[in-house]
Structure formats: C-alpha cells, structure tokens
Amino acid sequence: MSRFNIESFKSQVSIIRVLENYLVLRKEGAYFKALCPFHHEKTPSFIIDENKGFYHCFGCNESGDAIKFVQKFKNLDFFAAVEEIARLEHIELSFNEQSNAYFQNLEFLKQLNEFFKTHLKQNEKAKMYFSNRGIDEEDIEHFSLGYVPKKEEFLRFIDSLNARKKAYELGLVSEKEGVIFANRLSFALKDAYGKVRGFSTRELIKNPHLAKYINSKNSNTFNKSFILYNLCNAKTPAYREKELFIMEGFFDVIAAYKCGLKNAVATCGTAFTTSHLALIFKHIKTSELTLCFVPDKDAPGYKSVIRSLKLCFEQNFFNVKVALLMEKCKDLGEFYQLKGICDLKEHFTFYSGFEFYLRYHLKRLKNAVQKDNFLKEIITLIKNIKQYFIKEQCIQEACAVFGVNANVFNAKIIDKNTALNEDFNVKTCLKTALNNEEFKQRFNFFVSAEFLGEFAQSYKDFLQSSQMDAKLLELCADESINILKPAYFSLALKNLVKTHYLKALMQAKKAKDFQKTMQMSQKIAELSKPF
C-alpha cells in the first residue's frame, strides 16, 4: 500500500465525473446541484464544487470528497471506494491485487459467455424455446443469449479455468457446491460499454425450488442497480431518436428490437432507481431526451411504473411518457409471440407521464381528505419545477385531471408563501437575538442589517443605543414568534443567511449581473464551513 499516493490519486479524479454515475446532477451557476442521497428532500441542497473536488449538503451537513462519497453511498471501505473510482476514471492502481481480481473476473465472465453461447447451439430444447418466441439465430448472437448446461459439464468447465472460487464469488455456484445456474437459459448482462458484468438465467423447465429468473450476486463486477439491459446497444439510437424506452423484461427488449425499436432497455428484475436515471443521463447526453416507460399490463406493472415516475419527478425530470399496449396481453414479449413483427407504435397508447401519474392516483383515492392530501403533494411537486414551459404544461394537466382552477397551482401564491417563510425566519432570529446574549453575538457576526428588511434601521439603532424602538418591542410581544432553542441556533442562522444570498443570487441572475452572480455563488459555497 505504501506506493499509493492519495494526493496524486485525488488530483486525477473529477468529482463530477464520479458523482454523475450515481446522482442526477444539474449545473447551476458555478456549481452542480443534486437531490441529496443521504437524506430525503424535495429541493436540491446537495452542492458540488468541481474545482475544490468537494460536496456539501445544506440539509444534513454531509460533506467530503469523491472517495468519501463513494464510501458512504455504496457502503464501502476506503480502499474499495478508491478501487471503484479508479475503474470509473480509468486510473491504474498498480499496487493493487484486488484491482487485478476485477479484471480477471471480467475475463472469466467473457469466457463463460462464450461457453454458454456454444452450449445453446448444441441444445435443441433451448433453441426451440427461443424460436417459439420468434427469436432467430441472428438475435441470439446480437443479444448474447446462451444456455447453461448440466451441472457436471458446467463444473468441468469452471475447473478447467481453475475458477471455482471466482464462480462462487460471482454467485454462479451455490454454497453447497451445487450449481444453481444449471440447465437454464442465460442472458448476458452487459454494462454501457458492452462488457459482460454478470448473468441472469431463466428456467427452461419448471423447477419448484428455484425462481424463474436468477441474477448474478452483487460483486465487484456486478450490481443490478447500476446495469440496464441492452443500454450498450440502445444508447446510440436513443441519442439519435431523443427517446429511450424502459421495459420490464429481457423478452420485451428483444421483441421491441425485432419490431425495429432499437432504443429500448430493461431493468434487470429490479425497481428503477436514481442510479439507473444517472446512468441514462451519463450515457445519452441530450437535454431533449424523453423516457418512455412500458409497464407490464398488470397491477405490479402499474405499481412499479408509478414508483419510477415519482422518482423521475422528484429529480425534476418531467420529460416522461408511458406507453401501454392496446391489445389484451401481459407484456410486449407475449404480444410479439402472438403478433410477430409489426409497427409497435401503432399498438401503443401513449400518455404523458405526469397525467398518467395523476389519473392513476385519483382513481384510487377514496375520499376528500385523501384527495386534498394528494393535491398538496402535487402542488409541492409543481412548485419545485424549474423550467417555465414544463411547469405550465404540468399545471394545465393537473387542472384538467383534478378539475380545478389554475390559481390552485399559481406560482404567485407559492412565491408569497416563500416570502412569508423568509419573513418568519427573520423575525424568529431577531427576537432570539434580542433575548439571548450568546445568539446575539453570533447573529451580529454573520448577519448584516441589510438582511433584516423592515427591521434594518430599528436594529441598527438598537445596537447603538441598546434601546428597542416600537417596532422591536412589538416583535418581542408577538406571541406567534418563538425564541429559538440553542440546538437550532446554527441551523436558523444558516437558513437566514442562505435565503438572503439565494434571493440576491436570483436577482443578480435575472439582471444578468455576472459579477454579483459569482459573488453570491461564492458566498453560498462558503456557508459549507461550520457556523
């Protein structure tokens, strides 16, 4: 380990390139912003400073560099995080045996893939299964479909590579040294660059002891939350078409491909995650991208697409559609088996993702209280939308679905609320400063009079004369304003200062005052230091 120079390593790492693998980042002024992955929030307070290689969350105070982020986000120890970053950044860690193990595993997976492909060619039953589903030899080659032979043969191959331990680590062999993947169809799970990272296998003959599909175990090469099936093939057509279809199963993606829809991926038997979204934005770099979810036409399918939509909206991504098959069949794979090659888009009904989300929920809400709560949720969601026309469109859709007037979602009402909050915060801090000596000193140090709005002059006078004027006396008598408990001192001060700077930043941006914008961004960044 002595040869590892941490500073030289860090100097080669871009925190943005690392974090964009896990988070949906937005550039805002001199910084990048994201929803904090370490606490639940609806508006981003997670700030990344690319130049300093540092992140900080104003919501939960998490902060650190790229290594610390990967450690915490993926629950890894220091060196495992360094390795992961080294792989992402293509930095060679020559000292490191584990890094060699990673490349050996990749090589092993590649050999296995070839082995499975060869065995498919020799197995009539498996070939028949695929051909019954309308999948020909060219498709088999294109999607690296294969067959895992019977246990003895599989183990003989693994032993010929002296790879029992590896096979166990990758979840290809079970604890009891029995093969769990035997006599099954195999789907190679590749990363966005086309490298085999793991396998999913499907039963060919029903086995009551095993699941229909079994994925590789999570390992240093594979994590199903970070893999989208077929992304390596779909990313270029998706970039060209500015649209990516997200399906549930491997056979859906293959059916779509057969019907000419080459920009389709599937999650590997898992829920759609923020990491999947980050993966998509990393590899398909167009701001006009639309995501189109194609759920299975059953209750679990709808439930899961609703979760995916919510996840997109929370990341302030609204360019989302849902496509439902018009025909009565469970999924696209089954549809293709029945219909054969056809123009899929003619068999889909497309919905705006937002409208679909609203209608799904409204249909299931039982009474006025539930409806009100849902309406509140949607108002908050709309409030947080940054882009003007997308916001307008969502307001229109929400009005139509809820049957309410646009005033309910009107931005002006919401702005007034924010202003009220700010006013409330100023009053609370000021009243506390007037009543608590310790807080007053910190308050005077961090807050200048211009932050105090209508109280600016009164407070200036008070500092000179130690006499409260009528305005301040009135504030002290106002029972709706509480004096802060010491535990909240730092947070309240930070909020007050941050709100002020953010407001100034907004005004500076609006006025296209570049210098002031930079100044305010800098000040906001400095808030990451402890108060």
Report the distance separating Cα 105 and Cα 216, nearest Å: 13
Total residues at interface with Zn ion (CB under 5 A): 6
38 vs 239, beta carbon nearer Zn ion: 38
Q: Which two tokens stand for residue 517?
A: 């914008």
Query: Would you give the DSSP letter of residue 450?
Result: G
Q: Which residues 6+ apart lie within 8 Å of 300 measured at CB?
A: none
Task: For the chain, report the end-to-end CA distance as a whole number of angstroms.
Answer: 37
37 vs 149, beta carbon nearer Zn ion: 37
57 vs 447, beta carbon nearer Zn ion: 57
Dihedral Cα 47, 50, 55, 59, nearest 10 deg: -10
Q: Which two tokens stand for residue 290?
A: 């639309």
For residue 115, the one-letter residue type is F
CB of 426 to Zn ion, least distance (A): 25
39 vs 303, beta carbon nearer Zn ion: 39
Alpha-carbon Rg of the chain, whole angstroms?
28
CB of 336 to Zn ion, least distance (A): 44
CB of 527 to Zn ion, least distance (A): 14
Question: Which residue from 38, 73, 239, 488 is in contact with Zn ion, where contact means CB under 5 A?
Answer: 38
Which range, of 1-9, 29-37, 219-227, 475-483, touches Zn ion by CB under 5 A?
29-37
41 vs 89, beta carbon nearer Zn ion: 41
Query: Would you give the DSSP letter of residue 173?
Result: B
Residues 192-221 that bind Zn ion (CB under 5 A): none
36 vs 266, beta carbon nearer Zn ion: 36
Question: Which residue from 13, 18, 36, 492 is in contact with Zn ion, where contact means CB under 5 A?
Answer: 36
38 vs 402, beta carbon nearer Zn ion: 38
CB of 33 to Zn ion, least distance (A): 12
Report the distance separating Cα 388 and Cα 377, nearest Å: 19
Report the distance separating Cα 339 and Cα 330, nearest Å: 13
120 pairs with which residues across the strands?
none
| Contact characters 46-85, Zn ion, x per CB under 5 A | -----------x-xx-------------------------
Q: Which two tokens stand for residue 334?
A: 């089954």
Geometric angle at alpha carbon 85, from 525 and 50, rounded to 5°: 20
* Strand bridging mode 46-49 / 54-57: antiparallel
22 vs 154, beta carbon nearer Zn ion: 22
Note whether 34 and 15 are within 8 A (CB). Answer: no
Question: Binding of Zn ion at residue 402 (CB under 5 A)?
Answer: no
Which range, of 28-36, 65-73, 351-359, 411-419, touches Zn ion by CB under 5 A?
28-36
Report the distance separating Cα 42 and Cα 90, nearest Å: 34
CB of 46 to Zn ion, least distance (A): 6
Which range, of 30-38, 129-137, 402-410, 418-426, touches Zn ion by CB under 5 A?
30-38
CB of 416 to Zn ion, least distance (A): 27
CB of 40 to Zn ion, least distance (A): 9
Note whether 73 and 18 are within 8 A (CB). Answer: no
- How far, in whole angstroms, is CA 384 from its chain's centroid? 17
Which range, of 38-46, 229-237, 299-307, 328-336, touches Zn ion by CB under 5 A?
38-46
Residue 204: φ, ψ to 5°: -100, -40
Burial of 73-93, coded b for 16+ CB within 10 Å and e otherwise, reads beeeeebebbbbbbbbeeeeb
H/E segment holding residue 352: strand 348-352
CB of 58 to Zn ion, least distance (A): 8
Question: Which residue from 39, 40, 150, 212 is in contact with Zn ion, where contact means CB under 5 A?
Answer: 39
41 vs 169, beta carbon nearer Zn ion: 41
Give the strand order in the sheet containing 213-215. 145-148, 184-190, 196-203, 213-215
Residues 149-168 that bind Zn ion (CB under 5 A): none
Which range, of 31-39, 70-78, 195-203, 292-300, touches Zn ion by CB under 5 A?
31-39
Note whether 364 and 407 are within 8 A (CB). Answer: no
60 vs 271, beta carbon nearer Zn ion: 60
CB of 43 to Zn ion, least distance (A): 11
CB of 15 to Zn ion, least distance (A): 16
Q: Which two tokens stand for residue 146?
A: 């294969």
118 vs 273, beta carbon nearer Zn ion: 273
CB of 44 to Zn ion, least distance (A): 10
Contact footprint for Zn ion (CB under 5 A): 36, 38-39, 57, 59-60
